[in-house]
Amino acid sequence: MKLARILMSFLLALALQSAHAADNEVPSTLRIGTSASYPPLTFNADGKLQGMEADLGMAVGKHLKVKTQFVELAWDELIPALNDGRIDVIMSGMSVTDARSKQVLFTDPYMKIGQMALIRTADLVQWARPTALFAKGARVGVKTGTTGEAFARASLPDASITGFDSIEQGTDALVAGKIDIFIHDAPTIWRLTANTATEKAGLMGLYRPLTEEYLAWAVRKQDTALANALNGSLDVLKKDGTLGQSMGRWIPIQVKVKN
């Protein structure tokens, strides 16, 4: 009986080790979760997923020699879907934050960004000074639930802050004169002001970053092997120029600013 119990304990330990190893393996089909609502990083156009994250996801799959399957989800569903096992990785322009790091394991960052201010072109003189944004009475718009809102509420105590459900609502309010400034992250400001195909007439960006943030991919906390594999792929994409080429294609102003 004692020998049988020892054997059973040994087999159970092997099974647990095997299950843990399976959790950490790179899957044969990498299910990539994305919100597809964040151009130029990830968006849907003409029924096709496009953007920098789509390019990088395909490149990662090629490097890891696995199939890729993009799963489009609402932004708020990405982390729950990851932790429920419906997807394997989030590639959706996600900023690394302390709160998110408690829920997911982030890879190494692939891009440095920050919050920026969007203003009406006609108001440049009024808002061009770096300190102007912090003046009492500034009417500031943000998208609710974003790091832009967190920055505004923490750093602009004298401003009147209005939250909007979407970027479009915020920029429409700016055009209509209902707010003076709209704060969002750099890729959005670049898209709205520095790309002739997507720019919004009458608006301009102040390209001074208000915060320092990093974009990265996210996996489940226990999926350390997958995170390491993704980091390895990212390192290759940086060195062989794939990351730079994708950035130059989708965010050319970012490359110009860095130079």
Q: Are 69 and 76 in contact (CB under 8 A)?
A: no
One domain, residues 58 and 105: yes
One domain, residues 27 and 104: yes
Residue 33 and residue 185: Cα distance in Å, rounded? 20
Per-residue confidence (pLDDT) for residue 130, from 0 to 100: 84
* pLDDT value at 255 more than 50: no
Q: Which helix (H) or strand (E) holds 238?
A: helix 224-239
One domain, residues 75 and 19: yes
- How much of the chain exceeds pLDDT 90, in percent? 66
Q: What CATH number does the domain containing 69 carry?
A: 3.40.190.10
One domain, residues 96 and 168: no
One domain, residues 203 and 226: no
Range of the domain at 158: 115-211
Compute the average pLDDT of residues 232-240. Answer: 97
One domain, residues 70 and 98: yes
* pLDDT value at 247 more than 50: yes
Neighbours of 123 (CB within 10 A): 16
**14-58 pLDDT tens trace:** 443 433 434 457 999 999 999 988 888 999 888 899 999 999 999
One domain, residues 206 and 245: no
**170-213 pLDDT tens trace:** 999 999 999 999 999 998 898 888 777 678 889 999 988 999 99
- At 5, the pLDDT band (50, 70, 90 cuts) reads low
Q: What is the reported pTM? A: 0.77
**69-89 pLDDT tens trace:** 999 999 999 999 999 999 999
Neighbours of 199 (CB within 10 A): 15
Q: Are 57 and 68 in contact (CB under 8 A)?
A: yes
* pLDDT value at 95 more than 80: yes
Number of domains comprising the chain: 2
Q: Average pLDDT over the chain, rounded to whole?
A: 87
One domain, residues 69 and 139: no
One domain, residues 30 and 154: no
One domain, residues 120 and 106: no
Per-residue confidence (pLDDT) for residue 181, from 0 to 100: 96
Per-residue confidence (pLDDT) for residue 38, from 0 to 100: 85
DSSP assignment letter at 95: B
One domain, residues 185 and 245: no
One domain, residues 228 and 189: no
* pLDDT value at 62 more than 90: yes
Neighbours of 108 (CB within 10 A): 15
Strand 111-113 to 213-215 pairing:
antiparallel
Cα 188 to chain centroid distance, Å, stands at 11
Residue 253, token pair as written in the block: 């102003």
Most confidently modeled of 10-14, 101-105, 187-191? 101-105
Compute the average pLDDT of residues 59-65. Answer: 97
Closest CA to 220 of 235, 230, 207, 233: 230
